[in-house]
């Protein structure tokens, strides 16, 4: 019954999507909106049917038999919904339908052409996903479990007493949040693509369209970034190797659309203020969506080997065909409507503001290009009858992270300065003074820590410079407001932020990027790794820690057995803590060892323990010990980056009422060179 309901809903979704496309082409946008909502209802029924089958242990379905088992905890049974290829496609399609329904109903007050373009685009995307799941067996979550009859050699349906269970590497709490976050980001970029098509077809790319597209892009960017960050944490704590990013093809597949969406946000800023970058912005929006399809193809085609990818199947060929057709259609649309995408200003001169955002978008696209080239290098070699050679992580580190990444963060550090235009000269003194002091601090720290890495020194100077510039800009603005309006220190600071939320939100986001860079540099270049052989009761010095092995114990979980090591950690100040790394062997995968690491984290560094093995008698064990300086700042920086993006939307705008001349409070006498300089600037304006 479950399989029939799910397949009937997918078939009906194809018909509803086709109807929505026909209605959109005919200009019946009300009917098109209703049919998009109907597709959402049908995908919801299909999702409910699959979820009921998983929770009800219906192992006659191949998907349930492959990704669930009776002993699987309820949380991981829910995660089994998107653990496999077919279920994740259904989740993605449902999210596109849900977000698309919201989007098309918010377009009701726009022109018919704009609504028709968006509804028609969504109808094509939703119809493709429904057809893919219904007609491609590897993508159908409701396909029956078939086995070969030894007597007749025919495939017959069967229902085993239990399933294979979830892959041990997927049995981590991050599995419940990481994939849904990524798919929400992907779905949001599909909505942005549909809005772009509608706007370009209608020739309406004004402020209302810009606001709507920017909101959807921003939401998608935040969700996709949060998903990537969760994936990094998952790799760090689950795989037992102590890293968080290996430049794996599937990791790169999620990074590519995120970098492109970041470039989209920068072009939209200039388009809003100066009317430029319309064509570039539209092309980048299309590219961001196409890269979500490209990443899905990488994951599901089997073309590139990865620990994250699915086995080779027909899904890859179908996805590639849809990707190429969509790319061709987008290119034809942008070329045909190129007059609509011309800049509003005919003057050839560019402001410093425009050059800054253009440079940022250019660096982001260079990072995207080099990441994509490195990812598909094995396929390029095979196409040219060469060996399938994978690109080493050093390639990405050298170009994507060290070269373009550093230049991008340096540009972020300069961005607040460039907004001052001709008044930039007033910054020279404070910047040189504080910059020199910061350089002295960096050199002193490098001398104490014996840091001779040039890249690390440059990164440290850029990070410190970014923090200083942001701090000086805020202090100058708040001090000027305090002098001008006679407000208190804290009130002036708060209202300075509220009066220009976008600017300071961007600066907070840039500050988060500098934190991430500091965490990456510190943990990658200055970490230490050591495998320690412990006998029970033995103490070993590793770095500034004293580790004492207290013994092993056996544990039993709902569907696994585990060996746990107790290691007491003593800090130089006398503080102690017992860390308990584990090795797990799951009942359904007894030959696969799963690592549960133990972690003591702090602002200075992480202490990371992974149980690496031992002798059969239990007389000694091997423990991998890693010390990762500044790694916590990656997660802090990611949170700050997200908050900086959300601040302009969460905080209320401050619009101070005009103050009558008689009620103006005499400002206090300015103190300090910075405050007096701002007062002189205000007097010159008057």
pLDDT in tens, 355-364: 888 888 999 9
Owner of token pair 């977000």: 99
Determine the Cα angle at 194 with ends 192 and 199, to 5°: 95
Contacts of 10 (CB under 8 A, 6+ apart): 42, 46, 130, 133, 134, 142
Confidence of residue 661 (pLDDT cuts 50, 70, 90): very low
**In whole angstroms, what is the distance from residue 675 CA to residue 661 CA?**
22
Q: Encode pLDDT of 83-122 as tens digits.
A: 988 999 999 999 999 999 999 999 998 999 999 999 999 9
Domain extents for the chain? 1-171, 176-391, 528-632
Q: What is the pLDDT of residue 431?
A: 54
Alpha helices in 402-453 (DSSP H): 406-418, 425-449
**In whole angstroms, what is the distance from residue 115 CA to residue 103 CA?**
10
Alpha carbon separation from 397 to 245, 528, 630, 633 (Å, rounded): 11, 19, 18, 19
CATH of the structural domain 1-171, one choice from 1.20.120, 2.60.40, 1.10.3470, 1.10.10? 1.20.120
385 or 147, which is more confident? Answer: 147
**In whole angstroms, what is the distance from residue 3 CA to residue 606 CA?**
48
**In whole angstroms, what is the distance from residue 440 CA to residue 468 CA?**
14
The conformation of residue 563, written as its DSSP 8-state character, comes to E
The conformation of residue 308, written as its DSSP 8-state character, comes to S
**In whole angstroms, what is the distance from residue 626 CA to residue 330 CA?**
48
**Which helix (H) or strand (E) is 589 found in, with range?**
strand 589-596
pLDDT at 445 over 70: no
Q: Please answer whether residues 469 and 475 qualify as being in contact, where contact means their C-beta atoms are separated by less than 8 angstroms.
A: no
Range from 10-19, 165-174, 497-506 carrying the lowest mean pLDDT: 497-506
**Which helix (H) or strand (E) is 287 found in, with range?**
helix 278-301
**Which helix (H) or strand (E) is 551 found in, with range?**
strand 545-556
Confidence of residue 291 (pLDDT cuts 50, 70, 90): very high
Q: What is the pLDDT of residue 63?
A: 94
In 3D space, the residue among 486, 483, 481, 484 whose CA is nearest the CA of residue 498 turns out to be 481
Alpha carbon separation from 559 to 62, 80, 168 (Å, rounded): 21, 15, 10
Contacts of 516 (CB under 8 A, 6+ apart): 633, 634, 637, 638, 641
275 or 558, which is more confident? Answer: 558
Alpha helices in 147-277 (DSSP H): 178-202, 207-238, 249-274
Q: What is the pTM of this model?
A: 0.87
Q: What percent of the chain lies above the pLDDT cut of 90?
A: 45
Owner of token pair 């253009």: 358
In 3D space, the residue among 124, 135, 19 whose CA is nearest the CA of residue 86 turns out to be 135
């Amino acid at each position: 019954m479950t399989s029939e309901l799910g397949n009937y809903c997918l078939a009906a979704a194809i018909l509803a999507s086709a109807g929505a496309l026909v209605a959109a082409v005919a200009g019946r946008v009300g009917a098109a909106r209703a049919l998009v909502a109907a597709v959402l209802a049908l995908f919801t029924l299909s999702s409910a049917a699959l979820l009921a089958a998983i929770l009800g242990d219906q192992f006659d379905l191949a998907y349930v038999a492959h990704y669930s088992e009776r002993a699987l905890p309820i949380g991981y049974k829910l995660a089994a919904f998107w653990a496999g290829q077919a279920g994740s496609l259904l989740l993605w399609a449902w999210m596109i339908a849900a977000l698309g329904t919201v989007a098309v109903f918010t377009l009701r007050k726009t022109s018919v052409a704009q609504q028709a373009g968006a509804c028609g685009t969504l109808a094509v995307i939703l119809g493709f996903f429904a057809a893919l799941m219904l007609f491609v067996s590897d993508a159908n979550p409701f396909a029956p479990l078939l086995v070969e009859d030894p007597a007749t050699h025919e495939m017959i349906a069967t229902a085993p007493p239990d399933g294979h269970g979830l892959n041990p590497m997927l049995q981590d709490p991050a599995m419940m949040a990481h994939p849904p976050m990524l798919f929400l980001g992907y779905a949001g970029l599909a909505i942005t693509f549909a809005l772009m098509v509608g706007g370009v077809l209608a020739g309406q790319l004004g402020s209302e369209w810009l606001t709507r597209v920017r909101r959807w892009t921003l939401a998608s960017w935040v969700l996709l970034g949060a998903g990537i960050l969760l994936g990094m944490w998952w790799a760090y704590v689950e795989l037992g190797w102590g890293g968080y990013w290996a430049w794996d093809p599937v990791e790169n597949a999620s990074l590519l659309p995120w970098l492109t969406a970041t470039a989209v946000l920068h072009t939209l800023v200039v388009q809003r203020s100066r009317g430029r970058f319309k064509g570039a912005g539209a092309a980048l929006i299309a590219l961001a969506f196409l890269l979500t399809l490209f990443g899905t193809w990488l994951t599901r085609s089997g073309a590139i080997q990865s620990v994250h990818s699915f086995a080779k199947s027909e899904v890859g060929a179908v996805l590639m065909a849809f990707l190429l057709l969509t790319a061709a259609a987008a290119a034809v649309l942008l070329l045909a409507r190129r007059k609509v995408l011309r800049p509003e200003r005919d003057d050839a001169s560019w402001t410093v503001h425009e050059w800054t955002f253009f440079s940022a978008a250019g660096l982001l696209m260079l990072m995207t290009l080099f990441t994509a080239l490195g990812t598909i290098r094995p396929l390029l070699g095979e196409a040219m009858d060469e060996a399938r050679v994978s690109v080493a992580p050093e390639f990405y580190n050298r170009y994507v992270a060290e070269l373009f990444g550093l230049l991008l963060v340096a540009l972020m550090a300069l961005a607040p300065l460039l907004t001052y235009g001709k008044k930039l000269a007033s910054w020279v003194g404070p910047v040189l003074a504080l910059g020199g002091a910061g350089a002295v601090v960096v050199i002193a720290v490098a001398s104490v820590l014996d840091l001779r890495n040039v890249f690390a020194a440059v990164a440290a100077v850029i990070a410190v410079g970014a923090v200083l510039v942001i701090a000086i800009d805020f202090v100058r603005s708040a001090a000027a407001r305090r002098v001008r309006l006679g407000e208190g220190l804290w009130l002036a600071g708060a209202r300075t932020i509220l009066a220009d939320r976008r600017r300071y939100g961007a600066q907070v986001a840039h500050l988060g990027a500098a934190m991430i860079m500091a965490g990456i540099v510190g943990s990658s270049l200055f970490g230490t790794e050591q495998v320690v052989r412990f006998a029970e009761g033995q103490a070993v010095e590793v770095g500034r820690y004293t580790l004492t092995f207290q013994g092993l114990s056996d544990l039993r979980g709902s569907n696994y057995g585990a060996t746990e090591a107790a290691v007491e950690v003593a800090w130089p100040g006398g503080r102690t803590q017992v860390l308990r790394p584990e090795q797990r062997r799951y009942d359904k995968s007894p030959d696969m060892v799963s690592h549960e690491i133990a972690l003591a984290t702090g602002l200075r560094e992480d202490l990371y323990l992974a149980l690496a093995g031992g002798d059969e008698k239990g007389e000694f064990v091997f423990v991998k010990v890693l010390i990762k300086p500044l790694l916590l700042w990656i997660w802090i920086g990611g949170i700050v980056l997200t908050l900086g993006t959300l601040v302009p939307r969460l905080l209320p705008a401050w619009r101070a009422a005009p103050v009558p001349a008689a009620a103006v409070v005499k400002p206090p006498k300015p103190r300090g060179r910075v405050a007096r300089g701002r007062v002189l600037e205000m007097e010159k304006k008057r």
